[in-house]
Structure 1
Amino acid sequence: MATPSAGSGPQTVKLTDLSVAQLSQLKKQLDEELQHLTSSFQSLRTAQAKFRDCLNSISTGLASKNTDRTILVPLTSSLYVPGKLADTEKVIVDVGTGFYVEKSRNGAKEFYEGKVKELQTNLVDLEKIVAGKSDNLRLIEDVLRQKILQGEGSAEASA
């Protein structure tokens, strides 16, 4: 019996060669992976929507006509205080992990547009992975169903 070398890639196994228990375990594993990937997909969509909201806020909220209006400034996720815009050409951008950078209005727009595009690329890639995993899951379910039916058929024949 040959053993794979350390540098060899992933091995393929015929689904029909696996037992019902092994197929059930594989199905369970793929179900969990799909659930995790779907959750990640939703998180990416939510982040993309937030970046689009930021772009919208920059486009509509920083108009020079808004300098005299009172606005609500968020201190925390649930605490806002009244304030006025001091400068409509410079904004503070959250670049992640609690770091903020002052940028020009156009610089902030470019930053958020880049984030939206990057997330769109990630979403497309993740969508392909989810589709592939879903196809694999369907194949496993089909083989599992066939094995179970064959098991029932052979049990009836022996009875």
Structure 2
Amino acid sequence: MRRSRRLLTLALTAVLAGGSVLTPAAALAGEKKEEKGDKKATTFLALDPINAIVMRRDGRRGVMTLETGLEVKDPELMKRAQASVPRLRAAFAQVLMIYAAGLRGGAPPDIDYISRELQKTADQVLGKPGSKIMLGSALIS
């Protein structure tokens, strides 16, 4: 009785967590195999969130978090962007920290200005235009 109850609990946990109770072979049977000629090139490069310190309305320090990514349609430029991820993150962090340092306490960030500055920085780091900066969310906490 206890063993069946444990198994039932484990099965329910797996189903509720989004997992599948199916075996790996059964799960793989439903997948389609991609052929070499059908492989699509990636056009989006997601970067880790960038953080900067801001002043809150009450004078305490807060953190501004910005999710960024690049859309690059040129395959050669995409290879360069993938190789330049550390430089892109460092340059984006510098732009965001400079902007956040001048932001008044409690004022909302100007996302249009930030995106323009990040676009200039991305073009400068990659060496030529052709990428498009994509912003996910900006959060001040």
TM-score by length of 1: 0.21
> By percentage of residues, which structure has more strand?
2
Greater Cα radius of gyration, structure 1 or 2 = 1
